[in-house]
Copies of this chain bind each other. A is one copy, B any other.
Amino acid sequence: MAGYVSDAVIRRLPGYYRHLRELEAAGVTQISSQELGKRMQLTPSQIRQDINCFGGFGRQGYGYKVSELKGHIGEILGLDRLHRLIILGAGSIGSAVARYPTFSREGFETIAMFDVAPDKVGTRMGNIPIYPMEELENFLSGYKVDIAVLATPTHCAQENLDRLYAGGVRAVWNFAPTDLNHPADMIVVNVHLSDSLQILSYRIAHRDDG
């Protein structure tokens, strides 16, 4: 349905989805590009351009129907499908992902975690079983996994990514603070927490630049 969508627009899509979900929860059924722009700190014309870009909803002067637009953006983001996740690493980052409140309602279901620590293996985090890392290949031969979360220490991240690829996983959400080598048919999205904190530090250092 949508034509070519630029990277900048794609990066803004989750923000649209989040704001529209909040509006829907607050009982708002209709919103103008002016109001949505104010909320999202974008100009109304940017809002109209973005929304035209992925299919063209709303009519001049009437604004957008919140539920309809949210549903449409959710579809573009693939949130209408179920994604089965596994998490490599049951440390603090793995736990944070496993317990993150909104993932399951957006269709991301964590079916297993893997770790090397003897005191974690064999236990559960909430309902999620924690298996030993050496069981990974065996597990992947029996289950279709849509996304693997890499939350293991940096020094073994590349090795774990290679094992995931060999086991058929083609999408990785990487929390290791390094850029990993991966084949072209594997999608890797990085969360570099350090980068985000450094951007904050930059903005503190340049607070008075104008």
Report A's interface with B, CB cutoff 8 A.
10-11, 13-15, 17-19, 22, 39-40, 76-79, 81, 83, 91-93, 95-103, 106, 108, 146-147, 153-154, 170-171, 173, 177-179, 187, 189, 191-207
A65 to chain B, nearest CB (A): 21
Asked if residues B102 and A92 are in contact (CB atoms below 8 Å), the reply is: no
Report the Cα distance A204→B107, complex, angstroms.
14
Asked if residues B178 and A189 are in contact (CB atoms below 8 Å), the reply is: no
**Residue among A78, A95, A97, A102 with the highest chain B CB neighbour number at 10 A:** A78
With contact pairs A195-B18, A199-B14 given, residues A205 and B77 touching in the complex (Cβ less than 8 Å): yes
From B18, B100, B189, contact of A203 by CB (8 A): B189
From B83, B92, B100, contact of A201 by CB (8 A): B83
A177 to chain B, nearest CB (A): 6
Report the Cα distance A120→B95, complex, angstroms.
17
**Residue among A76, A193, A197 with the highest chain B CB neighbour number at 10 A:** A197
**Residue among A102, A146, A200 with the highest chain B CB neighbour number at 10 A:** A200
A4 to chain B, nearest CB (A): 9
Give the residue name and chain of the B residue nearest to A193 (CB): B100
